[in-house]
Amino acid sequence: MREKLLELILIIPAILIGFTFHEYAHAKVADMLGDKTPRFQGRLTLNPLAHIDPIGLIMILIMKFGWAKPVQINRRAFKNGYKDDLKVTIAGPLANLLVAIIFSVIFGLVFKFYFMYNYNEYTDILVKIFNLIIVINVNLFVFNLLPLPGLDGFGILEDLFPSTFGRIADSLYRYQIVIFALIAFGGARFLNKPTGIILELCSKIVNGIIS
How would DSSP label each residue in 18-40?
A: HHHHHHHHHHHHHHHTT--HHHH
What pLDDT does residue 52 have? 93
**3-class secondary structure, 189:** helix
Q: Is the pTM of this model over 0.85?
A: yes
Give the whole-angstrom CA distance, residue 51 versus residue 63.
Answer: 20
What pLDDT does residue 202 have? 82
What pLDDT does residue 141 have? 92
Type of residue found at 133:
I
Give the whole-angstrom CA distance, residue 165 versus residue 71.
Answer: 21
Catalytic residue among 23, 121, 158, 200: 23
Clarify whether 23 is annotated catalytic. Answer: yes
According to DSSP, the residues that pair with 52 across neighbouring strands are 68
What pLDDT does residue 45 have? 95
What pLDDT does residue 185 have? 61
Is 210 exposed, middle or buried, given 0-12, 13-18 or 19+ CB atoms closer than 10 A? middle
User: Domain tally for the chain?
Assistant: 1
What pLDDT does residue 150 have? 80
What pLDDT does residue 66 have? 78
Spatial contact of 9 and 127, defined as CB atoms under 8 Å apart: no
What pLDDT does residue 46 have? 95
What pLDDT does residue 81 have? 86
Give 119's Cβ-side CA count (13 Å radius): 9
Type of residue found at 1:
M
Domain that holds residue 55: 2-210
Largest interatomic CA distance in the chain: 60
List CB contacts of 181: < 8 A, sequence separation 6 or more. Answer: none
Per-residue pLDDT of the chain (211 residues; tens, 9 = 90+): 677 787 888 899 999 999 999 999 999 999 999 999 999 999 999 999 999 999 988 888 887 777 899 999 998 999 998 899 999 999 999 999 999 999 999 998 888 887 777 777 778 888 899 999 999 999 899 888 888 778 898 889 888 887 777 666 666 666 666 666 666 665 556 667 777 888 888 888 887 877 6
